[in-house]
Homo-oligomer: A and B are copies of this chain.
Amino acid sequence: MTDLLLATRNPGKLVELRRMLDSAQIAGIRVLGLADLPPFPEEPETGATFAENALAKARDAAKATGLASVADDSGLAVDALGGMPGVLSARWSGRHGDDRANLELVLGQLADVPDERRGAAFVCAAALVVPGGEDIVVHGEWTGRLIREPRGTNGFGYDPIFVSDGEDRTSAELAPEEKDALSHRGRAMRALLPHLQALTGR
């Protein structure tokens, strides 16, 4: 049995990553969360890109634990905000992890932005760091648009204001398995699966 550490402290991300790995049913892998291990030092997320942050988190975790470690960094890239909040998505309002304040701020900033300029994409970089092995970074993107009032209670972050291309429901109104099939994180994790499967063959 190979241990794989999901190196995230974001409860919403942890739920989704676990769910995706469970549904992928990779034989011979046991998934651990940070809560299953003693604490270790982590650097603050100050990278300029999702990939840089994901890799730094996975490296910190792999170094401290000796385990193969997966980390993700992800966020919302809003066209009318020049691609931001981007890597600052979790602290856009200046208050780290305050989903509601971050979402309300984006809505306020876009109050006068007309419907045809409300395009946005969720973007995810997922990194796998295997001690003594290669570092791998993959990307996933989910394109859509932002509405004017939050709707739905699933998911987290900006889900209540994001409507996927081809959908009328927000991503907080999608069932978990529907979200995973479309989402940036789902796409990135599927791109990572072959590398995770390869772990068990070591």
Instruction: Bin the interface of chain A by size.
Output: 20 to 34
Q: Does A30 contact B (CB under 8 A)?
A: no
Contact mask for chain A residues 143-180; partner B; CB cutoff 8 A; 1 contact, 0 none: 00000000000000000000000000000000000000
Q: Which residues of B contact A91 (CB under 8 A)?
A: 108-109, 111-112
Q: Which residues of B contact A194 (CB under 8 A)?
A: none
Identical chains bound together, number: 2
Closest to A83 in B: B82
Q: Known: A94-B105, A105-B93. Contact between A81 and B82, CB under 8 A?
A: yes
Q: Does A35 contact B (CB under 8 A)?
A: no
Q: Does A44 contact B (CB under 8 A)?
A: yes
| B46 and A113 within 8 A (CB) | yes
Contact mask for chain A residues 38-79; partner B; CB cutoff 8 A; 1 contact, 0 none: 000000111010000000000000000000000000000000
Within 8 Å by CB of A82, from B46, B86, B94, B107, lies B86
Q: Which residues of B contact A142 (CB under 8 A)?
A: none
| A82 and B80 within 8 A (CB) | no
